[in-house]
Amino acid sequence: MKHRLALLHLILLFLLLMAKVSAQSAYVADSLYADSLKQITRHYLEAQRWDSVVKYGSLLFEEAYQQHDWHGNIIEAHVALGIAYAHQGKYELAMRNLGQAHNNATTSHNQQMIHQAFNQIMQIAKEEQQRLVEHRKNIQLLVLGIVALAIICSLFFALYYQKNRLLIALVKRQREALERKSQQERRSQVLADGKKKELIAQLEQLMKEQKAFCENLLTKERVAEMLQTNRTYLSQVINEVYGKSFTQYINDLRIEEALRRLDDPDSRRALRLIGLDLGFNSPTTFNTQFQQRTGMTPAQYRQKVRQLVGTDEADGD
């Protein structure tokens, strides 16, 4: 298509040149030149090449003006220029050319051509208005989308910040509870008397100093054997002094030790190994017991402790 247009363009230019060179009189040359300009202008109108229509339509207007052709080519030039300017968005120039064409129109053919051009310009303006409205709608939708995204992001960060504060508060409460637990144990040891006091002291030494609770598969029978007492009396003493069962007592000691180890922000020991060190059979059991006691996983607790002391680094668990 581009090659055909280029070829036609060359042919028409050649006709223009030949018209100027080979014409036997100035009138014939001017007439041929004007007709050639009119054919070129019509061609570019059909091809919707608006810049070219403006270029050759302007040349046609100048030629028709010099020939005082007020009712022929000059009207066609005005109409072509009006349509081209409308497609370029220059509606003031378009209507000015159409008005000049109307002032010079004397035949019904010219008036009909001007009327058709006017309708075409109105349709172009209407379509342009519709595109502008659609463009504004798209911009409004884009702005609404950006606002909605900003609101969602704000809510997300607000919730994250709130959750982070809650987790840090949980860590603080657990550390405070650990301290209160130590104080309660010291008071309980003072309150116990006689044989019970002696058994409690031995139990505390076994658990706190020898860390017997770290033994894997530790049983009530095993502890009673180490304390040289019977399992029933051991359960009774633990229940009366600490208010919990033997299993709860051992698991609490393990979790308390885990909290102490995790309170060290410089510790890099893997969490699964810490769980095994404390006598838990598997990382899952360790995570479950820890979360039941603290409300968070060991990994979350370690991270929040590091945030509190300003050393929030990546963990290799």
228 DSSP 8-state letter: T
Structure tokens at 66: 């010099």
Tell me the CA distances in angstroms from 13 to 3, 39, 122, 141, 157, one per residue in order. Answer: 15, 11, 33, 50, 69
Predicted structure pTM score: 0.44
pLDDT of residue 156: 66
Least confident of 42-46, 116-120, 141-145, 215-219: 141-145
Distance, in Å, from the CA atom of 15 to the CA atom of 233, rounded to the nearest integer, reads 124
Q: How many alpha carbons lie under 13 Å from residue 30 in its C-beta half-sphere?
A: 13
Please give the DSSP secondary-structure letter assigned to residue 280: -
Q: Provide mean pLDDT across the span 208-229.
A: 91
CATH 1.10.10.60 correct for 169-309? yes
Least confident of 74-78, 138-142, 226-230, 260-264: 138-142
Delimit the CATH 1.10.10.60 region(s) of the chain: 169-309
Average pLDDT over residues 172-179: 75
Helix/strand/coil percent split, the chain, to 5 = 80, 0, 20
Question: What was the pLDDT predicted at 23?
Answer: 44
* pLDDT attached to residue 255: 93
pLDDT at 296: 92
What confidence tier does 191 reach under pLDDT thresholds 50, 70, 90? very low
What pLDDT is stored for residue 314 in this prediction? 44
Residue tagged 């003072």 (tokens): 190
Q: Which two tokens stand for residue 306?
A: 């590091």
Give the span between the Cα atoms of 284 and 262, in whole angstroms. 17
Q: What local confidence, expressed as pLDDT, does residue 98 receive? A: 77
Domain span(s) for CATH 1.25.40.10 in the chain: 2-118
Higher pLDDT, 284 or 69: 284
More confident residue, 125 or 268: 268
| pLDDT number for residue 14 | 59
Per the prediction, the chain carries an average pLDDT of: 80
- The pLDDT tens digits for 229-247 are 999 999 999 999 999 999 9
- DSSP code at position 208: I
Q: Are 282 and 317 in contact (CB under 8 A)?
A: no
Report pLDDT for 99. 84
Task: Report the CATH fold assignment for 2-118.
Answer: 1.25.40
Q: Say which residue the tokens 């308390």 belong to.
A: 256
* CB contact at 8 A, 84 and 57: yes
Phi and psi at 262, nearest 5°, equal -75, -20
